[in-house]
Amino acid sequence: MKKIQDILKKENYKKIKFKVTKTQHLLIKAEINGIKGNFILDTGASNSCVGFESVELFTLIAKKSKTKAAGAGAVGMLTQVSQKNVLKLGLWKWAEFDLIIFDLSHVNEALKQHKTKPVEGIIGADVLLAGKAIIDYSNKYLYLKKI
C-alpha cells in the first residue's frame, strides 16, 4: 500500500509540519508578506486573522470593517480587514490572501497563563477550504493542495 504522503504529493499537495502545544492547540509557522510568525491552526475559525499588535510586523494595510468577531469566549469585537497579502505555509502559497485583524489579547493571555508562547494569529477555515486541507494528526502534518 502506498503511503498517503506519496499519494498527496502526486496530487499537488504540499506538506506542512505543525506542533501540538501544552494547551492542545495546533501550532503552525506561517509567513505573511515575507515575515514569519506563529499561528494557531484552528478548524473552527471561519477566517484567518492576526492581532492588532501584528499589523506593523506583517506590513498590513488595515481598512475598517463592519464585521464583528466572536470566538474564544469573546463576542462583538471590532475588526479590520487587510486585503491582497501573501501567505506562505511551508511551500504552499496564496498570493491574494485577505485576513481579519482583531484583538487577540484574550487568546494570548490564556496561552500565557499556561506558560505557552503567544501567537501572532490564527489560520482558519478560509485557508483550509481553499487548500482542500487534509490534517494528519498522528504524524503532525497539514497537507494543502496548490491553488
Q: How far apart are CA 10 and CA 120, in angstroms?
A: 32
Percent of the chain with pLDDT over 90: 80
Residues 40-59 pLDDT 10s: 999 999 999 999 999 999 99
Q: What is the pTM of this model?
A: 0.90
CA torsion, points 55, 56, 62, 65, in degrees to nearest 10? 30
Q: Which CATH class is domain 4-145?
A: mainly beta
Backbone φ and ψ of 106, nearest 5°: -65, -35
12, 4 in Cβ contact below 8 A?
no
Question: Which residues lie closer than 8 Å to 12 by C-beta, 6 or more apart?
Answer: 145, 146
